Amino acid sequence: MDHISMEMLSFLLGAGFVAAFIDSVVGGGGLISMPALLMTGLPPNIVLGTNKLASICCSSTSSISFLRSGKMDLGLVKYLFPLSLIGSILGAYTVRLIPPEFLKPLVVVMLVLVAIYTVFKKDWGDKSTYKGIDKRVGILGGCAAFILGFYDGFFGPGAGSFLIFVFLMLGFDFVVAAGNAKALNLASNLGAVATFLLADSVNYVYGISMGIAMIIGAIVGSRFAISKGAAYVKPLFISVTTFLIGKQLWDVLH
């Protein structure tokens, strides 16, 4: 078992809690957990796998919270879950063959468009206008689940925000969109971590330590989202998306 200092353990526990709180509400927790794990000195490929192991604790906990509170559309999610799972397995396998750097400029552009659209569409996500599964929902939801599952396994930053954006486009309110997104995040995390485990690219000590804190952060975060509603979730979504844009711009420019 790898040696871990109390200082590093405390740091990972704190980072895990904050990352999971944010991620369970609006996505983007990787903004905190990935840099935290990089500070441990782990190689980048091990960081990716370890982050996915910890993230499973977050996505499974928050998915259960949203589901139990009735803030998840299980009728739709059950069809999209396997598509996200398969996409992430392919993505995690591909990242071992192709460096993900070429995606960064595209991600920045897409996040900027998501942020602008969300800011200017004033009442978007306040109330649900979702009418059930039809051809548009099936095609858009299915394509998004597979593509974003692949993206999450391959690269990751902003996947939760993109998923929420897609569910908002389908007519869900912000809280149910967040619940649906967490279920698909769980699928993509499962697919990716299985691939990383097979490639022996996971540090169990760091991953499980951070994962324990993420369980607590996810419980607190999902309860916050469910109790406060769209009035609080929407500004947090815009804030996290803006931070994601800044982080990706910084990475591209440096």
User: Which tokens is 232 given?
Assistant: 């609080």
Q: Any alpha helices (H) in 95-203, and if so which ranges? A: 104-120, 135-154, 159-169, 174-198
Mean pLDDT of 14-43: 88
Give domain limits for the chain: 6-253
User: Which tokens is 151 given?
Assistant: 């993206």
* 133 three-state secondary structure: coil
Residue 108, pLDDT score: 78
DSSP tag of 170? T
The pLDDT of residue 16 is above 90: yes
DSSP track, 87-98: HHHHHHHHTTTS
Lowest mean pLDDT among 77-91, 122-136, 189-203: 122-136
Q: Which of 19-23, 30-34, 183-187, 225-229 has the highest mean pLDDT?
A: 183-187
Q: What gap in Å lies between CA 10 and CA 217, rounded to an integer? A: 14
Residue 103, pLDDT score: 66
| pLDDT class of 229 with cuts at 50, 70, 90 | confident
pLDDT in tens, 96-111: 777 666 767 777 787 7
| pLDDT class of 1 with cuts at 50, 70, 90 | very low
Q: What gap in Å lies between CA 15 and CA 170, rounded to an integer? A: 33
Whether the Cβ atoms of residue 25 and residue 224 lie closer than 8 Å to each other: yes
Percentage of the residues of the chain whose pLDDT score is greater than 70: 96
Compute the CA torsion angle 229, 232, 237, 238 (nearest 10 deg).
140
Considering only residues 211 and 153, tell me which one the structure prediction assigns the higher pLDDT: 211
Residue 3, pLDDT score: 63
Please name which of 48, 65, 90 lies closest in space to residue 217, comparing C-alpha atoms.
Answer: 65
Q: Read off the pTM.
A: 0.86
Q: What gap in Å lies between CA 52 and CA 159, rounded to an integer? A: 13
CA angle 39, 59, 118 (to 5 degrees): 90
Please name which of 238, 215, 227 lies closest in space to residue 21, comparing C-alpha atoms.
Answer: 215
